[in-house]
Amino acid sequence: EIQAPQLLKSAVFSFCPCTASSCLRLPSHRAAEGSSPEQKEALMETAINYQERTHRSMIKFFEYRGKDIIEESPEYESFDAIIDDNDVLVFVKLKWSKGAEGGFGPDQFDRQQAEIDAAKWLAEHGELCDKRIRFDAVALIVLSESKAFLRWHTNIGSQGD
């Protein structure tokens, strides 16, 4: 069954510079908001890089929505996470940018490579082969040191060639 691509929720959420895996913007981190620019910069320099932060934010977004995280960082270029969305195995690609000027940009999806990579992953995880699969994309714009705008595009692989 082929489903039309959908855009699910877009959300602006807290983008905390800390490394706490459970942080969605802990109250203790709000103290930095009143800090001097130098203190804020020092906090940002001690934070993990943007790629890791955006990846962690995407994972938190899915966890907040009650999705089961199957694998957070698979070793394939075609996807950055694998989740279970109501018994559908979802291969998710993350794209991020810093600053709102460029917007989300176009979704770039190589269906053939994604299918090859998914087949390789499924061959290693045979116990999950009886599920339906889907390809999604998450685009994230870092708006500030504490805010990000996220778009979750479901079923991106069903777009016509």
Tokens, residue 130: 């009886």
Give the Cβ contact number of residue 21 at 10 Å: 8
User: Given this model, what pLDDT does residue 25 score?
Assistant: 46
Round to whole Å and give the CA distance between 35 and 152. 33
**Residue 144 DSSP label:** S
Q: Which of 84, 55, 76, 77 is nearest to 124 (CA)?
A: 76
pTM value is 0.69
Residue 149 pLDDT greater than 70, yes or no: yes
Residue 119 pLDDT greater than 70, yes or no: yes
pLDDT tens digits for range 32-84: 556 677 766 665 554 446 777 888 888 989 999 999 999 988 888 889 999 99
